[in-house]
Amino acid sequence: MPLIALFSGMRVNEISQLYLDDVETETVMDETGAKRKILYFHITPYRDGQSIKTPYSLRRIPIHSKLLGLGFERYVADVKSTGAVHLFPGLHWAEGGPGVGVSHWFNRWHLRRNCAIHTPTKTPALLPPHADDDGGTPAHSG
């Protein structure tokens, strides 16, 4: 789950409440005209127990190539083969959603300093260090 948060910017509750059917595939044509398969997370409030924070949270998020390289598709297939319906079966669906327990576990046992599982939701907005064009001002056009 922390890697999904890191590479997608998704909230912990969005990740922990995913159903296997929320991992979807779409075939698209790339700029060369070749067909490509895109695997993505479909964030919705439509299945039992799911919720979204705001109407803008309803979205499709492509699954990062690093996650695919680490065997994410194989993980999904393995979980499906058990007959489970959730992407992360076995989570306790407490009041507030399954992400509550995940947050407490992760933040209590795996982090010691200024970082929480919610931190990656801010990651996509950060500029890389080399985006500095004059030693302190972020690079921008215009």
Identify the pLDDT of residue 120. Answer: 57
Identify the pLDDT of residue 112. Answer: 58
- What token pair was written down for 43? 């964030």
Domain boundaries, the chain: 2-127
20-51 per-position pLDDT tens digit:
999 999 999 999 999 999 999 999 998 888 88
Give exposure, 39-65, as e/b (b: 16+ Cβ within 10 Å): bbbbbbeeeeebebeeeeeeeeeebbe
pTM exceeding the 0.85 threshold for the entire prediction: no
What's the maximum distance between 2 C-alpha atoms anywhere in the chain? 56
**Residue 124 pLDDT > 70:** no
